[in-house]
Amino acid sequence: MRRVEDDIAYTLLTHDEIYDKVHEVGRKIAEDYRDKNPVFVGVLKGCFMFMADLIRCVDIPCEIEFMAVSSYSGTSSTGAVRIQKDLKGDINGRHIILVEDILDSGITLNYLKNYLKVREPASISIVTLLDKPARRQAPVYSDYHCFEVPDAFVVGYGLDYNERYRNLPYIGVLKPEVYS
């Protein structure tokens, strides 16, 4: 029986490295947002592991919401962002922290940031687990990120390829023969 690990070329970030950095970033966000009662908005599905760990490190009053969007087909962005699940609550005057697994092309986060701005939040910031600046196509940057990664196809810790590999407790580089 084939295991998901068989498709991984190498481990880019171990579970312990991720854990330590997520806690560091969570503490920084808590410090920056003390007395602001932010709303963490997770971008599904990829953010779920990162957001769960991050929110446990934030020791301030806060709320969580989720949005579901799609813009990928296989290994690349289609350039067209579709909102599949929108926010339920009013964010007018609130401090919004968008939580995303990876900032890659920037198309999705740029779209979401502009989409949410019309609801007049007090602020919008972005926190990502991974930042891949080599692939940036839109003028958007993370206010907080845990790791900058090279231009490789990464999976694990919530990140997927065709809905697989999210369950890996680390981030690995997918073997090219799996997706080519």
- Mean pLDDT score of the chain: 93
Q: What is the pLDDT of residues 74-121, one digit of tens each?
A: 555 566 888 999 999 899 999 999 999 999 999 999 999 999 999 999
For the chain, domain boundaries: 21-151
Q: Which residue has the tokens 């003028």?
A: 139
Q: Concatenate the DSSP letters of all residues of 103-124 into one string.
A: ESSSHHHHHHHHHHHTT--SEE
Annotated catalytic residue, options 53, 104, 143, 160: 104
Fold assignment, 21-151: Rossmann fold (3.40.50)
Q: What is the pLDDT of residue 78?
A: 61
Query: Where are the extended beta strands (E) located within 5-134?
Result: 8-13, 39-44, 63-73, 76-85, 95-103, 123-131
Query: Quick check: is 35 catalytic?
Result: no
The fraction of the chain above a pLDDT of 90, given in percent, is: 87
Residue 14 has pLDDT above 80, yes or no: yes
pTM score, whole prediction: 0.92
Spatial neighbors of 173 by CB under 8 A, at least 6 apart, are 8, 9, 10, 12, 152, 153, 154
Q: What is the pLDDT of residue 3?
A: 86
- C-beta of residue 53 within 8 angstroms of C-beta of residue 24: no
Cα 48 to Cα 158: distance, rounded to the nearest angstrom = 6
